[in-house]
Amino acid sequence: MRHGRIEQRGTAADLLRAPATEYVATLVERARAASAWLGEA
């Protein structure tokens, strides 16, 4: 969600495979980096 609007709907796999916008791609990448940093990857 960005500015009160949904950027993309789908499964986590959908978001990883084909992010709809640059914002979604950045969000997914940051989440993956945080997960790796926390040792959850």
pLDDT of the residue at 41? 56
pLDDT of the residue at 40? 73
- Please write the tens of the pLDDT for every residue from 1-41: 888 999 999 998 999 999 999 999 999 999 999 988 888 75
End-to-end CA distance of the chain: 24
Q: How far apart are CA 37 and CA 7, in angstroms?
A: 26
- 2 and 23 in contact (C-beta within 8 Å)? yes
Q: Break the chain into its structural domains and give their ranges.
A: 12-41
